Structure 1
Amino acid sequence: MGHVTSRRTGAWIRAEDTSAVGAVRRRAVELAGLAGFDATQAGQVAVAVSEAVSNLVKHAVEGSVMVRMDPEPPATVEFVAIDAGPGMADIARALRDGYSSVGTLGIGMGAIARIATGYDVHSLPGRGTVLAMYFTAGREPAPPAHASGLTRPIGDEQVCGDSFAISTTGAATTIMVCDGLGHGHIAAQASQLAVELFLQAPEREPLAIVDRLHRGMGVTRGGALAVARLGGGSVTYAGLGNVSGWVAHAQGRQGMVSVPGIAGHQGARLRQHTYELPGHATVIMHSDGMSERWDPAHMPGLFARTPAVIAAGLLREAGTRRDDVCVVAARPGS
């Protein structure tokens, strides 16, 4: 496989009233047009997205949705929805056409699953549901996504100071997460510069990448950053500052080591560490906008889902509105 990079971002919209349905539908159709979808395909995206958001408005608690586009071939429109309840006890039943139950997201789920090119769902009764689906022009399936990430700004801010980027070459996946110091545009300038520098040379060793970004971010306020590379049954990790890195599985997790400092300004001697990565494990990286107290054992079934749903589930469970947040989930490639 050739070299593929990703730094997808999208704005979150709260699904609190019916106005959210139109806002999300318009954004999805706009992105479908940019992705090269014809009118029929864009219309199908609009139907699925409208149904999903309508269900959130009617039945969910604290529902939020995000739509974004990945321009890498095949161009993809991705939709993610999270809510804080009431959840579904029987997802398979909810996916049957015609199923309806007040207090669930089951209405229309069968139609949504049929229209989308791909989808994944995780739900915990009483705690909420995560739905991720994507659409490609001509319904050409996208390659398996070994990594996926999400960002969300503090409170009602429109700009997030945290950023991530993912680079895949063959079976190796390299991830960079940067938490710009502070919030808003100034923090975003720092983290976006980190993304640009990372994407210029993502094939270097994680330690060399962190060092390069540390040197290059001196013109910004700075921030915390970490880089992980998955491949060959292990993950190699280097970090500067308080970005958290974990090797997680259904029963627990192992922390990965960063050194203290502020990228661009000061830091201890950089180090790189390698950790065993079993096939069933997931690498999680997140900024301090997400609590470190999350526990895979308290989220049954989540770590068996796709990286997109894992990242969204962790954002729902451990993300805070009092800070920008970024979370990335990744698995070894084949």
Structure 2
Amino acid sequence: MEEVIGRTCLPLVRDEVWLPVEETAQVGRARRSATSLAERLGFDATRTAEVGLAVTEVGTNLYKHAQQGAVLIRTVRGERDAAIEIVALDRGPGIRDLTLAQQDGQSTTGTLGVGLGAVARLATTCSMTSQPGRGTALVARFLLKADRVPEWGEEPAAGLTRPIGGEDVCGDAYAVCRSADRLVLMMCDGSGHGPLAAAASELAVRIFRDEPAGQPEALVARLHTALRGTRGGAVAVADIDLVTRKVRYCGLGNIGAAVLADGRKQGMISVPGVAGHQARTIRAFDYALPERAVVVMHSDGLTERWGADQAGDLIVDPPVLVAATLLREAGVRNDDACVLVARTA
């Protein structure tokens, strides 16, 4: 991981492939994609087989019991450690008893019941959330050794990206840096789609991770300058102060952002413009950060017409599951999509 003036950047996450799982052949494709990735990351034969078994269990249950099931296979990379992360989403009837569903041998029609106990045992970490009538989200992470503690420790923030249909790469990207008393989030929605949009967003990530700590408006101005000569895009930075319980937010372009707390959604303001091309005004706004609040940022691949009740259990669910739930509920536009979630308690 990188460290710049007291900041530590969370590991880089790269989405390898999103796969629909609605028929038997797609289960096999998901397994092959995951095991191939494990081999490239240097997993031994036993661990690679465990990854393949877990993905097969997840995919089989999506195919048999869920609706509009999909699996994301991605890498998580620090300086020394690497992991494979599997995210599964569906729009099935949901699971009413998650504890029972994760016990070996349990199977309830319309759930991911069979095999979840095995997935949890094989994974380094595994968590799941479900909303009756809406669907289920599961995330399982696999390090080289199942019991290994990753170098990056607990992650207070996590995100997901998903490319527009027909593209292999997403033009949206995000990054997170932290210190003892704050979290700093960055998101870039590269203009358009495909490799050129992704190149702009990847440049924004590199600049942000290398940049000394500063006010969000200064970071956005730096990104605006750096993105000249690229497609450009919408850019936003949120500086979350965990001591004073405030978030300072600066958005340029169409990045959605909100503070969720006590069942309410407080939107945050982004000003019009395109980083790298047009920025008449770069301005930051301050917002109160209630205890146990969650901060959400997202690209315009998600509709802004979502409510706090669509984000899952904000108190219990880890950030990646909140992000997955929001992507399922609000990622309804045919566009690149990105959502980033930070827990502040």
TM-score bin, normalised by smaller chain? over 0.9
* Residue 244 of structure 1: how far off its partner (Å): 0.9
Q: 1:209 to 1:299 in 2, by over 3 A?
A: closer
Q: What residue number does 1:25 align with?
A: 31
Segments of 4+ moved more than 6 angstroms:
none
How far, CA to CA, are the matches of 1:169 and 1:48 in structure 2? 34
Aligned length, in residue pairs: 333
* Residue 240 of structure 1: how far off its partner (Å): 0.5
Q: What residue number does 1:13 align with?
A: 19
* Residue 229 of structure 1: how far off its partner (Å): 2.1
Give the letter aligned to residue 9 of structure 2: V
Among candidates 65, 84, 103, match of residue 96 of structure 1: 103
Q: What residue number does 1:293 align with?
A: 305
Q: 1:280 to 1:287 in 2, by over 3 A?
A: same
Equivalence map 1:257-276=2 (5 Å): 257-276=269-288
TM-score normalized with structure 1 length: 0.93
- Say whether 1:210 aligns with 2:220: yes
Among candidates 74, 80, 84, match of residue 77 of structure 1: 84
Give the letter aligned to residue 89 of structure 1: R
Q: Is the CA contact (8 Å cut-off) linking 1:5 and 1:199 kept in structure 2?
A: no
Q: 1:261 to 1:124 in 2, by over 3 A?
A: same
* Residue 169 of structure 1: how far off its partner (Å): 3.4
Equivalence map 1:306-325=2 (5 Å): 306-325=318-337
Among candidates 185, 194, 198, match of residue 208 of structure 2: 198
Q: Is the CA contact (8 Å cut-off) linking 2:217 and 2:250 kept in structure 1?
A: yes
Q: 1:278 to 1:33 in 2, by over 3 A?
A: farther
* Residue 312 of structure 1: how far off its partner (Å): 0.4
Q: What residue number does 1:42 align with?
A: 48
Give the letter aligned to residue 328 of structure 1: L
1:190-245 Cα offsets, whole Å, 9 max, x none, are: 22221222122152322111001101112012211101122323322111111011
Q: What residue number does 1:237 align with?
A: 249
Q: Is the CA contact (8 Å cut-off) linking 2:89 and 2:137 kept in structure 1?
A: yes
- Say whether 1:141 aligns with 2:123: no
Deviates more, 1:181-190 or 1:204-213: 181-190
Structure 1 unpaired stretches of 5+ = none
TM-score normalized with structure 2 length: 0.90
* Residue 128 of structure 1: how far off its partner (Å): 0.7
How far, CA to CA, are the matches of 2:262 and 2:127 in structure 1? 18
How far, CA to CA, are the matches of 1:230 and 1:35 in structure 2? 34
How far, CA to CA, are the matches of 2:334 and 2:286 in structure 1? 33
* Residue 300 of structure 1: how far off its partner (Å): 5.0
How far, CA to CA, are the matches of 2:311 and 2:179 in structure 1? 31
1:63-106 Cα offsets, whole Å, 9 max, x none, are: 11111111214322111000111211111110111111222211
Q: Is the CA contact (8 Å cut-off) linking 2:312 and 2:325 kept in structure 1?
A: no
Among candidates 141, 148, 152, match of residue 162 of structure 2: 152
Give the letter aligned to residue 164 of structure 1: Y
Superposition RMSD in Å: 1.9
SS of equivalent residue, structure 1 residue 123: strand
Q: Is the CA contact (8 Å cut-off) linking 1:63 and 1:84 kept in structure 2?
A: yes
How far, CA to CA, are the matches of 1:282 and 1:274 in structure 2? 15
How far, CA to CA, are the matches of 2:35 and 2:101 in structure 1? 26
Among candidates 57, 60, 65, match of residue 54 of structure 1: 60
Deviates more, 1:193-202 or 1:252-261: 193-202
1:155-194 Cα offsets, whole Å, 9 max, x none, are: 2321211111222334432221111112222222222221
Among candidates 4, 9, 30, match of residue 4 of structure 1: 9
Q: What residue number does 1:166 align with?
A: 176
SS of equivalent residue, structure 2 residue 205: helix
How far, CA to CA, are the matches of 1:24 and 1:255 in structure 2? 37
Q: Is the CA contact (8 Å cut-off) linking 1:155 and 1:321 kept in structure 2?
A: no
Q: What residue number does 1:110 align with?
A: 117
Structure 2 unpaired stretches of 5+ = none
How far, CA to CA, are the matches of 2:189 and 2:336 in structure 1? 8
SS of equivalent residue, structure 2 residue 74: strand
Question: Structure 1 vs Structure 2: percent identity of aligned residues?
Answer: 46
